[in-house]
Amino acid sequence: WKHAPLTFRAMLDNSRSHGEQVFVVYEDERLTYEDHFRRAATLANRLVEDYGVVKGDRVAIAMRNYPEWVVAFSAALAAGAIAVPLNAWWTTTELEYGLSDSGARLVIVDGERAERLRGCAVPMIVARADGDLPPGAREFGEVLGEVRADVTPPAVELGPEDPATIFYTSGTTGLPKGALGSHRNLAQSPMSVAYALLRSVALAGKDPASAAGQRRITLLTVPLFHATGCFAVLTATMFTGGGLVLMYKWDPGQALALIEREKVTMMTGVPTNAWQLLNHPDLGKYDISSLGGVSYGGAPAPPKLLERIGDQLPKRQASNGYGMTETTALAIHNSGPTYLAKPDSIGLPLAVCDVRVSSPLGEELPPGQVGELCLRGPNVITGYWNRPDATAETFVGGWLHTGDLAKVDEEGFVYIVDRAKDMVIRGGENVYCAEVEAALFEHPAIDDAAVIGIPDEELGEQVGAVVRLRPGVAATAGELQEFLRGTLAPFKIPVRFWFREAELPRNPGGKILKTHLRKETLGL
Ligand code: ATP
Ligand code: MG
């Protein structure tokens, strides 16, 4: 029996070479690479022997970023199952949707999710139980039993094309879809992340070899159940033998304390995490000299964010990564000097990823013209679970149609101008929300902003903005409009502003929930 190299099993076996290095840190708990291997292999055997898991079965995971999440994910894959991470923010109904949509054979949860799923028919393994287990559920440690040093994972034959994961998309534009990823998609992810890193080191004129030799400690500020947390961070960390610092929940003050305590070298999450760290009153109070970089993606990052990082975290390398659940996270990346030179670009595609900008008729558009961004490569999944209609619509002629409007410059740098579904069309003129939002962020009073279309009889749509001001700073709609006149054409300037005291509604991927905002402000 032997396994193919481009599979998770190969990664797991390889991770053992990092042996006694610490892999996962959570509060005062530490899991070395060897601990992780033994636990994952032990649990994988339990899944096969106690739960009858066979190749291709779905094993769902629904919990916070606990170390058990990592062990459960590795165990599911090592057992030959398809790992199905569910959004831990989901309600009972949504979790039940995830379980039935994926046809999960069992679900591995934490205490909070166990409560939410009490009464659910799917067998449950519960880590960090809060009280009584739901009937029929078993406790994680009890299932694991004795963890032996000589344990070997089950002998399941897997190849690169075998399915490995179902990650649900964020549900920003509709019902979350299950993105079915293969072992090849998964196995290329750490290499793509490494490539992006080494390219940015090389572009900065430094020696990639010295950077490759440094042990990285990453603070993960987003959930593992989204592609970014899992593929841009977890699998990449595992491949390189780095450390992964997990948080109970995102909290900027706590993040500062953890960076100091764990000597974190990189913070990875969504742009909101970076903003909140910069805005935190304790930023100057901690020794965060270990931090070499801040990277984010998953949602638009206005150029102002890069400027603030330059001012408040000097010498730190900022990176902006573009990716989707369907691209196994990273696909396009901007970092270091090229990011400073082109702060409004998401950068260059990964080595493995082809990019084209298409007209509505499917023709490739020349540089400078805006069209739909399409992607192709071993990081792109082949389709959605159980959704032939959505698969046929999104994967056309071998290309993933992203639903994002973009342009490419003469040097191949990609610029996201908007999500096609967000764009406001005012009197036949396209207004890209992301552009107006970025212009708003330049105003010193703005803490957060979202641009939406207001239905208009005459013009089709008008531009509106929902804004949150920074505490203690005042600005009126008139002042904001006057400010925008300096950078935007008149038709792009919001005619109406809504001022909000509360934070703008965002999903765990850092994306503003515009459907919520439209409902709240316009009743649509
Ligand atoms: P759904 O597909 O269910 O509507 P979603 O598209 O938000 O949800 P994800 O796969 O988490 O689900 O997000 C991918 C999208 O996030 C991209 O299509 C793009 O619109 C946006 N995005 C990701 N990275 C960036 C980035 N660096 N800059 C701008 N937008 C980004
Ligand atoms: Mg999407």
Residue count of the chain, please give it: 524
In whole angstroms, what is the distance from residue 336 CA to residue 302 CA? Answer: 16
Give per-residue pLDDT as tens, 240-279: 999 999 999 999 999 999 999 999 999 999 999 999 999 9
Residue whose structure tokens are 């300037």: 493
- Ligand 1, CB within 6 Å, residue ranges: 169-174, 176-177, 226, 297-300, 320-325, 346, 402-404, 416, 419, 509, 511
- At residue 196, the pLDDT reads 92
Q: Are 166 and 144 in contact (CB under 8 A)?
A: no
Helices then strands, counting H and E runs in the chain, come out as 18, 27
Q: 499: which 2 tokens?
A: 């001022």
Ligand nearest to the CA of 421: 1
Ligand 1 atom having least distance to the Cα of 173: 4
- The encoded tokens of residue 38 equal 């033994």
Ligand nearest to the CA of 417: 1
> Tokens 């639903």 — which residue?
403
Closest ligand to C-alpha of residue 387 is: 1
CA dist., res. 458 & res. 243, Å (int): 57
Q: How far is the CA of 198 from the centre of ligand 2 (A)?
A: 28
Query: Which residue has the CA at smallest separation from atom 1 of ligand 1?
Result: 171
CB 219 within 8 A of CB 259: yes
pLDDT of residue 311: 97
Q: How many CB atoms lie within 10 A of CB 264?
A: 23
Three-class DSSP category at 296:
strand
Query: pLDDT-derived band of residue 2, with 50, 70 and 90 as boundaries?
Result: low
The pLDDT tens digits of the residues spanning 383-427 come to: 999 999 999 999 999 999 999 999 999 999 999 999 998 899 998
Query: CA separation (Å) from 399 to 355, 383, 391, 442, 449?
Result: 9, 11, 11, 36, 32
For Cα atoms 448, 323, 423, give the angle at the middle one, nearest 5 degrees.
50
Distance CA(412)–CA(390), nearest Å, equals 29
Ligand 1 centroid to residue 509 C-alpha, Å: 8
- Measured by CA distance, the residue closest to atom 5 of ligand 1 is 170
Q: How far is the CA of 318 from the centre of ligand 2 (A)?
A: 24
Give me the pLDDT at residue 407, please: 98
* 523 Cβ contact list (under 8 Å, min separation 6): none
When pLDDT is averaged across residues 206-230 and rounded to a whole number, the result is: 89
Which residues, 6 or more positions from 515, have their beta carbon under 8 angstroms from its beta carbon?
none
Asked if pLDDT for residue 3 goes beyond 70, the answer is no
**How do residues 165-184 score in pLDDT, each as one tens digit?**
999 998 888 889 999 999 99
Q: What share of the chain in percent tops pLDDT 90? A: 88
Query: How many CB atoms within 10 Å of residue 147?
Result: 14
Give the closest residue to 498 by CA, choosing from 459, 458, 452: 452
Distance 300 CA to ligand 1 centre (A): 9
Q: Which residue has the higher pLDDT, 87 or 130?
A: 87
Report the nearest-CA residue for atom 12 of ligand 1. 170
* pLDDT (average), residues 86-100: 95
- CA–CA distance, 38 with 150 (Å, rounded to integer): 8
Token pair in block for residue 149: 């040093």
Question: 477-484 vs 433-441: helix axis angle to the nearest 10?
Answer: 110
Packing angle of the helix pair 271-279, 252-262 (nearest 10 deg)? 90
Give me the mean pLDDT over the 462-488 stretch: 95
Report in angstroms the alpha-carbon separations of 348 from 23, 208, 331, 342, 416.
Answer: 30, 18, 9, 11, 12
Q: What gap in Å lies between CA 437 and CA 100, rounded to an integer? A: 38
Mutate to test the pocket of ligand 1, among 87, 169, 342, 391 (most ligand atoms within 8 A of CB): 169
Average pLDDT of the chain to the nearest whole number:
95
In which band, very low, low, confident or very high, does the pLDDT at 325 lie, cut at 50, 70 and 90?
very high
pLDDT tens profile 4-54: 789 999 999 999 999 999 999 999 999 999 999 999 999 999 999 999 999
Look at 512 and 1; give whichever has higher pLDDT.
Answer: 512
Give the whole-number percent of the chain exceeding pLDDT 70.
99
- Structural domains for the chain: 8-159 (3.40.50.980), 182-419 (3.40.50.12780), 424-522 (3.30.300.30)
Tell whether the model's pLDDT for residue 1 goes beyond 60: no
pLDDT, residue 291, reads 96
Residue 225 has pLDDT above 90, yes or no: yes
Q: Which atom of ligand 1 is nearest to the CA of 172?
A: 4
In ligand 1, which atom is closest to the CA atom of 177?
3
- 472-503 burial: b if 16+ Cβ within 10 Å, else e: eeebeeeebbebbeeebeeebbbeebbebeee
Nearest ligand 1 atom to the CA of 171 is 3
What is the Cα–Cα distance from 56 to 149, expressed in whole angstroms? 27
| pLDDT of amino acid 206 | 83
Span 208-217, mean pLDDT? 81
Q: What confidence tier does 323 reach under pLDDT thresholds 50, 70, 90?
A: very high
What is the pLDDT, as a whole number, of residue 205? 85
Phi, then psi, of 378 in degrees rounded to 5:
-70, -5
| Model ipTM value | 0.99
Question: From the CA of 155, how far away is ligand 1's center (Å)?
Answer: 37
